[in-house]
Amino acid sequence: MSSIVQQSRSFAELDKAQGARVRRSVLVTGAAGVAGKSLAQQLIARGFQVHCFDTRPMDIPSATCHVADGMPGLMPALARLIRTEHIDLVIPANSVDLSAISSGRMAFGNRVDVVVAGPGPTATAQDRLMTAWALWSHGIGVPDFGVPSDFAHPTKSESIVSGALMLRSRWVDGDQPTVLVDHPSEVDWASVGDDLLVQEFVPGTTYKAVVYRPLDGKGRLTIVLEEAILDGGEIGAKYTIAQHTMPEVERVAQAAVRALGLTGPAEVSLRSREGGEPLVLDVRAGFGPHSSLAPELLEAVLRDHPSRETAPRVRDRINGAPVGGFSARDGRVFASGARR
């Protein structure tokens, strides 16, 4: 059973001035990662009371950090934390949490707002192979791709990816580093599992499109970031706002998010061949690691997920159980936040 240890609590005292309202309490899950930490820092800078959650230790000044000792109890642990800290907005920031929260968000009760797409689209975007299949089926350009077992016979592998290729984790938040291979013949495919994606290496500039697709279709947002050339001429993982408009990159990124059925925030990685259409490398549901470069993204999310000021701050109790928990009475079990 998972338990939570409160690691740190260093945020400033609530404003005690007469008439001041209690700050909105926001929970960021996956906050030990780059994307989660960046999101938490943006919320802190905006004056929110921020709680951070992960299975790994975190050091995020001015936030309250909670460390869980294991993933099997993720949803019950989050539900208890949300009740205890009176959290009214939850923003998952890694793919594992996104999938679990998307399918199990009802555990939080009906007074909690959650920034997450539907379970199907979220699960598809977590898996780069499923994403590539889905985009290809919609006619959206992707690099040639397969899995290691597709390369069992050299003649077949040549028909899939004939030149340089990348071996990548199938999972967006996977720990497996990307490996560049000059030719398929260099790999002993029998020793490589299908938890990796084999993807054609596409030379050229990499773009990150920060996308927001609202449920009602209004206020759509796309901001293109371009891979920067570092001092000394080396290409690094540093991105800046594109200096020129990139209508084709924007169009393909929006089409990819729409094809996957994602709503809310997303980050699309693309690369263009010389003079060719941008190809989608992968799509990350939710906030990505570069959201701080596009602060308009968080503004759009907060605009569409306003504070529910009329909701009581105290723990409601129905049939003796706090909202978001469960109660059994007369042999019946029901969610305590539900109407009978």
pLDDT averaged over the chain?
Answer: 82
**Helix, strand, or coil (residue 52):** strand
Domain shared by 181 and 216, yes or no: no
Same-domain status, 185 and 283: no
> What per-residue confidence (pLDDT) applies to 6?
53
Per-residue confidence band for 20, with pLDDT thresholds at 50, 70 and 90:
very low
CA dihedral 71, 76, 78, 79 (to 10 degrees): 170
Residue 134 lies in a domain: no
Check whether 103 has a pLDDT greater than 50.
yes
Q: Is residue 321 part of a domain?
A: no
pLDDT at 155: 59
Parallel/antiparallel/unpaired status of strands 89-92 and 25-29: parallel
Q: Are strands 264-272 and 278-285 parallel, antiparallel or unpaired?
A: antiparallel
CATH number at residue 269: 3.30.470.20
Q: Is 10 helix (H, G, I), strand (E, B) or coil?
A: coil
* Residue 74 lies in domain: 4-116+310-314
In this structure, are residues 314 and 177 in contact, taking their beta carbons and an 8 Å threshold?
Answer: no
pLDDT at residue 317 above 70?
A: no
pLDDT of residue 156: 57
pLDDT value at residue 161: 78
Six token digits for residue 292: 């701080």
pLDDT tens for each residue of 206-218: 999 999 999 888 8
Residue 122 lies in a domain: no
pTM over 0.75: yes
Q: pLDDT tens across 139-155, in order? A: 999 999 999 998 877 65
